[in-house]
Amino acid sequence: MANLTITEISKKYNITTDTIRYYERIGLLPNIPRKSNGNRYFTDGMQHFLEMVICLRHSGVSVDSLVEYVALIQKGDATLDARKELLEEQRDLLEEKKHNLQRSIDRLNHKISLYESGEITEDKSYFKEYKINED
């Protein structure tokens, strides 16, 4: 990978330049190198770091947790256990969301099967008792 400008990075990763600047301001992208004219440039290492931040954000990690995670990374190997624990907590939250989503999908599939089997028709609607369709 070559060094890229902030505009090139924003296009490559489909995020706004404002988001990149925000991430830098709050410490998610520490030490972005700058050219003599002050423009940021992204080395291979910084691009990989940004990919990690984007991946974790897409997986639902909060900005606050990410700031904590990046701060731990900057402290070095002494924080390996704390970093692992933070990621495990996030994984557990995602597993819970996955479980809840699966339950919702199962309920929808059950409801769809009631329509497909004819158990819910115009004459046999669960909604008649609630008078939803009355004028």
pLDDT digits (tens, 9 = 90+) for 42-94: 999 999 999 999 999 998 899 999 999 999 999 999 999 999 999 999 999 99
Class of domain 1-75: mainly alpha
Distances (CA, A) of 41 to 3, 50, 90: 6, 12, 31
Q: Report the Cα 98 to chain-centroid distance in Å.
A: 14
Q: What is the pLDDT of residues 2-57, one digit of tens each?
A: 899 999 999 999 999 999 999 999 999 988 999 999 899 999 999 999 999 999 99
- Among the listed residues 87, 59, 33, the one whose alpha carbon sits nearest the alpha carbon of residue 79: 87
| Dihedral sign for Cα atoms in the order 11, 18, 23, 32 | positive
User: Is pTM beyond 0.85 here?
Assistant: no
* Spans of all domains in the chain: 1-75, 83-135
Token pair for 118? 């004819």
What would the DSSP string read from start to end of 24-78? HHHTSSTT--B-TTS-BEE-HHHHHHHHHHHHHHHTT--HHHHHHHHHHHHH-GG
